[in-house]
Structure 1
């Protein structure tokens, strides 16, 4: 089996050691990759620092065409990439193909935003003392970006860090998740086909414990992290003077109100509690149902959950595959068992086979159980009745997280009330909280993070406003 190179300042490189990537479903070896040495990591950082001014000054057409090229090449290699995502991540090919399509769109959106990215002008002669003055306001990159990415979307969440960085002219160093580095390395291969200058990007598949030095390096003024809240805030605490963006997940709630289409709600909630084996920060975890329709909804939900196809992620029909590792599945199983021991009832699932957790539905769960309070990151949902709309929304807010929430209702009043009252970064009306369009602002409040993804929003996050005042003009 060939050993994949990593990408050092835009060129392929090999280190002194190798790591193996395995499939969580059957344990087979998916690939091997070379690991950068400390000297090579230093070389990547030095190159990013050295090219920062040139990168910021790159003509817009160069950045936009590089991004458009990446979009086209992902589309051309879509099936190969989807198969790689399934192999290294364990997500069913159904979802891997969806992720690949989203990455095509993410780079396309970035190319479009790069061409629109421009400064603005502001007349200052609104006061007599500023007669003849005009402000030109532009946005300037903070500098090179350290992008630390998770395992659950090993291509598209890398894209959401790399694409906006290139769009604004910021060098980027990617540290992919150790469990799923191969998709990021393939993306590096495609980036190397562009005319971006050497040093503009590196993909360094290093162990997590080696990332601390990169996080603290002053030549990388921006750290963009997606992952768990404890790790994210530990990173932020290390570097209080850096610009940090954190996307940290949550325990997303779906609210089903009495006027909802119960069949639609049951089908969507069943699927999107369990897609990616629940390993999505906006997978449905808490399901809050208005009391008058609670029983009718449960009668629809349980058959929808038990009817999901679970098994081999390479099978075209599989909807729910394994978790990223057996260790991850054991943790989810333990949380479910703790909830049951505390009085919860299992309405579906609750079992584990290797890295696969059967789609699980729990009710009567104590409010302090981990499956309620924390992010399960597995195919587990909690059913909770609510006496009213007000109580339902209060229950959504009774969480330390606030990423997105879904509200199934036909009422505009209830929709706008949700938008006013729910303490989340996104409110999805008529669908699950798992809905995300890659161009829209995406991020949370409370312990769900800092900053926003979505191409335009992320580009703003990676830059600061700079004002040039022109004096003595006749306006």
Structure 2
């Protein structure tokens, strides 16, 4: 089939004409193919119209993609760093050339604003450019030996085929992260993007890498319809060629996948969700703290695993802080993700909106105070601030993927740390303080994979090891991630003969 075909134009929710949905195949062994089961529809969260039609893959297509990846592995694992780097530099140039198109695709497919889409793509370009240099990093070492004429070395070797699950909520940056780390380490990859963003979270990455000259079979993409991930996952876990499962997503799904990986003795890398605290100490600059808190809580409609879920404010600042945060939340521009000034766009699905609304209503029914928000206009949920939330409310203990944040007054920094650590999540956190040294000392007690001081909870730098602890998973992004996708192999060389005991 053709890689993409477009249907006729139709009217959008705003009444403006736009192109109809494009149809996409799946990508296997360097070719765009048609799935045996046909296609499924991919919806625009803002207009609720069909944005694209994608291949409805199953176990047979997945098995074929794994075979292609396994066949491509020996040659790719021996590819020189210079060759890998050249492909990636070309890919970065293609992303830059297509950046506006890619940002618009994310807006239409996932509801992310153009602001967030462009922010993501800037990170993607940085990531690919830096990853080109990582091709030289899986280095070995020479160890001392207690035996004469013996050289003890340790080298790193790629695992084989890696199965990467990619999410919708940071569709481009997270897809590239899930693919590049195993790829640069010398593995081949089969990508299963979420059914909510098959284009942004998989198909477009394959397009770009294919154009950049990546050999056939090195990266493959299998898409699937709603509720149809099971057969693909079954093939990943039961096919012996797959040596690692690389997942970015929710804690419940990650727990299930990690259990299956353990039973199959496959390595797993898990970047999971978090209930991320932001602490405002009594010496913080109030205006800055409010801006950082609003960005941390409401960027991408609260649909990022790194969003702040609770804000812990010293009692001396609490009343004024809350008043200003409520005003800031109410002033955020909401609407179409394709409008330049929009900060709050739609939630990903009607079901997601209902789930957020149910969590807010549950909290209020149990005694929480709704300070602002708690309503929606079509698919857009208003930025919501809750206070006095009881511990038995779901929004107080579970990651709620929407523009909802819980504020709490604390008596001291010690109480803030206790509240920050009360749950088993541990992805990211932030501390806002006028005394940087004090904040650094306090950060030593926060149980999270990242602690941001005088910064939002969302603050990725490509070279930094981003990832969680405790129930927020394991594994890291950046150059540190290469260890997750390679094995350490000991190679010992004896010059001459060694005297063996009793021989």
**Would the TM-score normalized by the shorter structure come out above 0.5?**
yes
Q: CA deviation at 1:358?
A: 0.2
**What corresponds to 2:180 in structure 1?**
163
SS at match of 1:244: strand
Q: Which residue of 2 aligns with 1:204?
A: 222
CA distance in 2, matches of 1:39, 1:422: 46
| Whole-Å separation in 2 of the counterparts to 1:171 and 1:291 | 53
Which residue pairs with 1:239 in the alignment? 261
- 1:288 counterpart residue number: 312
Give the match's secondary structure for 1:192.
helix
1:162 is displaced (CA, Å) by: 0.9
Once the two structures are superposed, what CA deviation does each residue of 1:398-456 show, in whole Å capped at 9, x if it has no partner?
112010100001224432333321111110001121211122101111111121122x1
Instruction: Report whether the alignment pairs 1:77 with 2:77.
Output: no
Alpha-carbon distance in 2 for matches of 1:261, 1:470: 61
Instruction: Answer yes or no: is 1:409 the counterpart of 2:444.
Output: no
1:472 and 2:495 aligned: yes
Q: Which residue of 1 is the match for residue 346 of structure 2?
A: 322
1:419 aligns with 2:443: yes
SS of the residue corresponding to residue 211 of structure 2 reads: coil
Q: Secondary structure at the residue paired with 1:421? A: coil
Distance 1:410 1:464, change over 3 A: farther
- 2:170 aligned with 1:153: yes
The match for 2:29 is 9
Query: What are the residue-to-residue correspondences of 1:136-147 with 2, within 5 Å?
Result: 136-147=153-164
Note the 1:34-433 alignment, pairs <5 A.
34-124=55-145, 127=146, 130-183=147-200, 184-206=202-224, 207-216=228-237, 217-240=239-262, 241-433=265-457
- Does structure 2 conserve the Cα–Cα contact (< 8 Å) formed by 1:403 and 1:448? yes
Q: Which moved more, 1:324-333 or 1:290-299?
A: 290-299
Contact 1:326–1:354 (8 Å) recurs in 2? no
Residue matched to 2:10: none
CA contact 2:58–2:231 (8 Å) conserved in 1? no
Q: Deviations over 1:151-179 (max 9, x none)?
A: 10111111001111221110000000101
The C-alpha deviation readout for 1:227-283, integer Å capped at 9, x for no partner, is 111111111111211100111111111000011111111012112211111000111
Residues in 2 aligned to 1:123 and 1:196: alpha-carbon distance in whole angstroms = 39
The question of whether the paired residues in 2 share the 8 Å contact of 1:11 and 1:192 is answered with no
Question: Per-residue displacement from partner, 1:79-109 (whole Å, max 9, x unpaired)?
Answer: 0110001110001111111111111111111
**CA–CA distance in 2 between the matches of 1:447 and 1:150?**
18
List structure 1 segments (4+ residues) > 6 angstroms apart after TM superposition: none
Greater Cα offset, 429-438 or 247-256? 429-438
Q: TM-score scaled to structure 2, two decimals? A: 0.90
CA RMSD in angstroms comes to: 1.5
Question: CA shift at 1:344, angstroms?
Answer: 0.4
Q: SS of the counterpart of 2:495?
A: coil
Contact 1:146 1:214 in 2 (8 A): no
Q: State the distance in 2 between where 1:272 and 1:423 align.
A: 18
- Looking at structure 1, the residues matched to 271 and 311 of structure 2 have their Cα atoms a distance apart, in angstroms, of 22
The offset of 1:375, in angstroms, is 0.3
Gaps of 5+ in 2: 1-6, 8-21, 497-503
Which runs of 5 or more structure 1 residues have no equivalent in the other structure? none
Q: CA deviation at 1:28?
A: 2.2
How far did residue 14 of structure 1 move?
1.5
Q: Is the 8 A contact 1:9 1:44 kept in 2?
A: yes
Preserved CA contact (<8 Å) 1:173 1:203: yes
Of the three residues 19, 26, 38, the one matched with 2:40 is 19
Distance (whole Å) between structure 1 residues aligned to residue 462 and residue 364 of structure 2: 37
CA distance in 2, matches of 1:60, 1:6: 28
